[in-house]
Structure formats: structure tokens, C-alpha cells
Structure 1
Amino acid sequence: MDALSQMLALIPVSGRLDVRCQFGVPWRIEEPVTAYCDIRYHVLLTGAARVEDGLGPAQLLRPGDIVLFPGGAPHTLHDGSGLPPVPATVDTAGHVAVVSSGPDGTGTDLLCGRFRVPAAAQPLLLQHLPARLVVRSAVQDIDGRDGAQVLAAGSRLSRLIGLMREEAHEQGPGSEALLNHLSAALFGLALRLASLTDAPPPGLLALARASPLRPAVEAMLAQPGDDWSLRALAARCNMSRATFIRHFTVACGASPSVFLLGIRMAMACRQLVDTRLSIAAIGEQVGYRSDAAFQRAFKKHLGVTPARWRADARAAQSSAAGG
């Protein structure tokens, strides 16, 4: 299994489409800081939009573009005119709310929603994705070693966006659930396409792209409980220890040890919720030879003991099921 597939299997992200926006000029969307577990996304179907978030220069979006905010940063999308937005109306009659403004509300069409990251995977995922990620599904003819793969990934993402647009427009039986499932697929396809670009941002996307590092990354994801030394990981990549550390740190933005710790903690969190294994047994599964060492590492990484994390996570599950 490749690194991105392993990561998506370890991190079962769900999706939700919140609203469809149909705007005439001028328009503006203001999004506040979001919860740590949520990654806001916006898909531009038609028209144009500018994104501002204080994280870098404003960015122009074209039809077929998706923008994600893994860090939960407040952000603004607007038409770029600088004019006060026209007051919008909200139609909540269907499964998906529709916000519209302007004379016909058809100049710019957006789908806005969120990806929900399970608590177990938040540190691993959110620390290794950029604070703002723009993915362009309308891929033009490109050269390079992965040109065919990029074009195929862009085509699949475009078709998924088209299906989401149809479901959001027709709102037939089951549309709400289908749109949420399609949103989850949108996350995986967007990350795939982003990882195939010539210069993916440091973190998970660059690691998925970095062929020389792939054997080590896939080994850590497949067998996080093994006693991995830097020398053993470097050997899998046919590199010296120093060269491996240098290349890995540049690609990931963190050391191999930090990345492995994130994988181990994400797996431990899932085991704490999904199984009745003892804390010591879970610690051993993710590479700790003593319960005390696992307890210390877990609390340092997540701020609470494994027992407290298990109790809180199960209480949250029960509350969500009851609500």
C-alpha cells in the first residue's frame, strides 16, 4: 500500500457540505477561526474569487479550484471589487442551504463545507499540512515524469466536483448523505492531486511525492511498532544516516523521529477508542517496551494520560450517538 493510502486509512476523515453560495457581484464570505477538528473547504464551481487569510498573499481562484484551511485560520473569500457586498438571502428548504445575492445569484457559484478530522489523528494530520492549500482540478497539459498521473487525478477530481454540483442542485432523495460521502472523497482526491504537483508543500504531501524516501515512509506507516532506528530507515532508502535525515527533514518539515511519533500516537488513540486492549498492550503495539515509557510519551504529545484520553473520547462518542 502506498504512503498516501496508508495515511488516509490511518486518518478516517469525514466530510460535510454546509452550504451552496450563488452570488452576483459584489459578494463576500467571512469565515471565523474554526474548531481544531475541522478543515474548512470551498470549491469554486463558476465565476472567480479571491482568498485572503493573513497567511500569505491573496490568491485568485478559478473554476474547479478547491481551497482548504487545515489550520482553521480565519479567512475571507470575495469577488475582488472592493465594494460592499450585496445583502444575501438564505434558503433552507432543501437538504443543503443555499445563500444567494445579486440580481440573479448566478455570477459565482461555490460549495462550502468542512472535513472532520478525528481527534486521534489531529496532531499528525494538521501539523503536516499547510495552513492554506489550493488544489486546481482543471489541470492543463503538462510535461514531466508524472504528467499522465496528474492529468488523470485532475480529471477524477473534476468529475467528483461535477457530481457534487449536480447533487447540490437537484437535492433528491439521499442527497444530504451522498454529498457528505462525496465530501470525504473530495479530501482524498484533493490530497492525491496536490501530492503529484512538481513542488508540493513540505509535510505529508511532499513525503507522498518523494520517491527516494518512500520505502522508509511506507515502512513507518505499515509497522509503526517496530524498533526503527535512523540507520535502519536510511538503509531502506539506500542512503547514509545523515543524508536520510537531511532529505526527510526538508521534505517533511520535521525529523523522522517526530513523524514516527505522530504515527504511533495516532494509532494508539484509535486503539484506545476502538478496542478494549489494556493501555500497556496498546503501548507495546505502537513500539513502547514499557508501560511507563508509553504513558510519558503519550502525555507529552497529547497533554493527557491514555486513560483520560480514552474516557473523554468514549464519552464524546456516546454524546454524539445520543444527540
Structure 2
Amino acid sequence: MDVLSDVIAAMRTGRPRSVPVRHHGSWAQEFAPADGAAGIQVVLRGGCVLRPGADARQAVAVGPGDVVFLPHGTGHVLADSPGTPVTGAPREPGTPPFSRPRPAAPGDGPATLVLCGAYRFDPQRAHPLLAELPDLVHLRAAPARHPEPAAVVRLLAGELERTRLGTDAIVPSLLDALLPYVLRAWYDDAPLRGDAATGWAAALNDPPVTAGLRAMHRTPAAPWTVERLAREAGLSRAAFARRFAALTGRPPLGYLTWWRMTLAARLLANSTLPLASVAEQVGYTSEFAFAHAFKRWCGMAPGRYRRAHARPVPAAGAHLPTVCKQ
């Protein structure tokens, strides 16, 4: 897998939650901070503003086709205008109920249709690539520059404007596809924002560092050394080590150990593999050595971690396709 795909697969837990909401007239809905989840708001029809805080001067205009991704689950308000007061209790993104449905009244104007969603992330497996993102990633509708996310938004709008057979399966799948598209667009646009010189935006656009990352992600159990990784990157050992640490914030083998433990945590939570098999898959020939490294990494033994974090089978109905009206 490429680095971004691998990171998303490691952090995600379960399928995305979402609920589409149709607003009329004057409205404002508050979304509470979401612990262990990233929020996403997709404006399918109409327009609104997003207030990331109580100050109306911070309001961001969000137009049709725009996507707002909140990677850290930051609380926010969606409203028809910056000054509209909030009524009702805060909601967690992607979950009902919303305010009691109200029919459109004369003079209300066109409806605004928003898909309010959330992706569940395991904080134990949070990748620095995600942690580095700002509280709010606003991907404006730009079909010419980012045709793929624009196409996903169009498909979502079509499904939710007229629900049909298969909508319950299609909408979560489209949201799954939208996440890597949004992240890809954010990192592709780093040079335009002027922040491509440092951090993961730079690391993912730096061929030698990307080569080293791909090698570790492709075969994490391989007996990697800094010298072997440097050969993959086409640099000397010292030059690769300096470059990797400067851009990612960790030395190469430090990142490798962290990534191995992250993969081990996913295997422990999502499988019944014996500990020896888990250890082998993340590069440890000794179950004892793996258990010692894992406990040092997360503070508990692998068996105890598995008992505490085993994932239940997801319940049906994680997505609610019926459009609520406010």
C-alpha cells in the first residue's frame, strides 16, 4: 500500500457515520467536539457558513460542492449566516436527532442540503500525518483542479436527493472514498499554500523520504537498517537519516518501530491471531521481544491490550439515509 492509504487503514475503526440534513430559512446547528472522531461536512445543495468558534468573525463561507474536514473533531457551528443564534443542543457529527422537522415557509428561499458525517479514528494509532493537519481543512469545489472529490460530491448529492435501492450501501462507500481524496488534495495543494517546505507535506512530496516510507510500509517486517533504507532512497546513510528526521520529526528506525507497534495494535484489536503470529508480521522473531517492545510503547502487555480493545462487529444501520429537515 502507498503511505497515505496505509495510514488511513491503520487509524480507521468501523465505517463512517453520516446523516443528511435539509435546512430552510434561518437556521444554526452546533456540533459538539468529537472525541476519537474526525468530522466532515459536505454541502450538496445551497450554501452556509461554518463557525469554528463562538466568534462570528471567524465564520467561513461554504458553498455548494465544498467539503469541510475537521480531522481533530473540533466543535463548530453550521448556520445560514454568521450572526444566526444556535437553538437546540449540540450534536455529534454524523448522528441524529436534529431539531424537529419544520416545513419550508413562504420566503424561506432555497433549501441547503448538508451531509454531516464522522470518521472514527483510534487515538492510540493516530499518525503524525493526521496530527499535523489544521483544525479545519476546507476543500472548495474545484472540478478543474480536483475532479475526483468533485465527482464524489456529485454522486452523494444524487443519492441523497432521491434515495433508491442500494443508497444505504453506496453513501458510506462514497464517504470512505472521499477521505483519501480530501487528504490527497490537501497535500497536493501544499505548494500553493506555501507550507510544502516542512513536515509531512514536504515528506510526502520528497522522493527520497517517500521511497524510505514506502519501503517500511510495504514490508514492515523486513530487517530494515538505516543503511538499507538509504539504498532504497538513493542517498548516503547520513544524508538519508538527516533528511528523514528533518521532515517527519523522527529518525528512520524510530518511525519504523512506531509504525510496527501501530500495526500490531490493529492486529491485536481486529484479529484473533496468536501473539507469535502478530510478532512475526511486525518484524519480531521472538514473542518475548515483541511483548516487551509493545508494553514499552503503549504501557500494557499485548494480551491485555487485546482484551481492552477488541472490536465488536459493527451494527447495521451505521448510516441514516433519511433526510432530516430543520
Q: Which has the higher contact order (CA 8 A, sep 6+)?
A: 2
Cα gap change, 1:116 to 1:30, in 2 (>3 Å): same
The reply on whether 1:197 has 2:189 as its aligned counterpart is yes
The residue identity in structure 1 corresponding to 2:248 is C
- State the match for 1:299 in structure 2: 295
Aligned to 2:49: 49
Q: Write the mapping of 1:26-45 to structure 2, written as runs, cut at 5 A.
A: 27-36=27-36, 38-45=37-44
Residues 66 and 138 in structure 2, CA contact (< 8 A), matched pair in contact too: yes
3-state SS of paired residue (1:236) = helix
Deviation at 1:67, TM superposition (A): 1.8
Q: Percent identity?
A: 29
Unaligned runs of 5+ in 1: 89-94, 142-150
Instruction: Please say if residues 59 and 82 of structure 2, whose CA atoms lie closer than 8 Å, have aligned partners that are also in contact.
Output: no
Counterpart of 1:170 (choices 162, 181, 184) is 162
When the two chains are superposed, the root-mean-square deviation of aligned CA atoms in Å is 3.6
Comparing 285-294 and 132-141, the one that deviates more? 132-141
Give the whole-Å Cα distance in 1 for the aligned partners of 2:289 and 2:123: 19
Kindly tell me: are residues 12 and 126 of structure 1, through their superposed partners in 2, closer, same or farther at Cα, counting changes over 3 Å? Answer: same
How far apart are the structure 1 equivalents of 2:50 and 2:64?
12
* Match in the other structure for 1:182: 174
Match of 1:111 among 112, 115, 124: 115
Instruction: Report if aligned partners of 1:21, 1:112 keep a CA contact under 8 Å in 2.
Output: no
Aligned counterparts, 1:135-154, within 5 A: 135-139=138-142, 151=145, 154=146
Task: Provide closer, same or farther for how the CA distance between residues 305 and 105 of structure 1 changes in structure 2, counting only shifts above 3 A.
Answer: farther
CA contact (8 A) 1:29 1:78 kept: yes
Q: Matched residue of 1:35: which SS?
A: coil
Q: Which residue of 2 aligns with 1:77?
A: 78
Q: What SS does the aligned partner of 1:132 have?
A: coil
Stretches of structure 2 that go unaligned for 5 or more consecutive residues are 90-94, 319-326
Give the structure 2 partner of residue 145 of structure 1: none
2:66 aligned partner, one-letter code? D
Q: TM-score, normalised by structure 1?
A: 0.76
SS at match of 1:209: coil
Which residue number corresponds to residue 214 of structure 1? Answer: 210
1:96-107 correspondence to structure 2 within 5 Å: 103=105, 104=108, 106=110
Q: TM-score scaled to structure 2, two decimals?
A: 0.75
Write the distance in 1 (CA, Å) between the matches of 2:138 and 2:254.
27
- For the 8 Å contact 2:49–2:82, the answer to whether it is kept is no
Match of 2:69 in 1: 68
For 1:31-90, what per-residue CA distance to the aligned partner results, in whole angstroms no more than 9, with x for missing partners?
A: 222131x21111123324234159xx65443332222222223233344532425789xx
User: 1:266 aligned to 2:262?
Assistant: yes
User: How far does residue 166 in structure 1 lie from its aligned partner after superposition?
Assistant: 1.7
Q: For 1:139-176, what per-residue CA distance to the aligned partner results, in whole angstroms no more than 9, with x for missing partners?
A: 376xxxxxxxxx3xx11211111111121221223322
Distance 2:61 2:275 in 1: 49
CA contact (8 A) 2:43 2:114 kept: yes
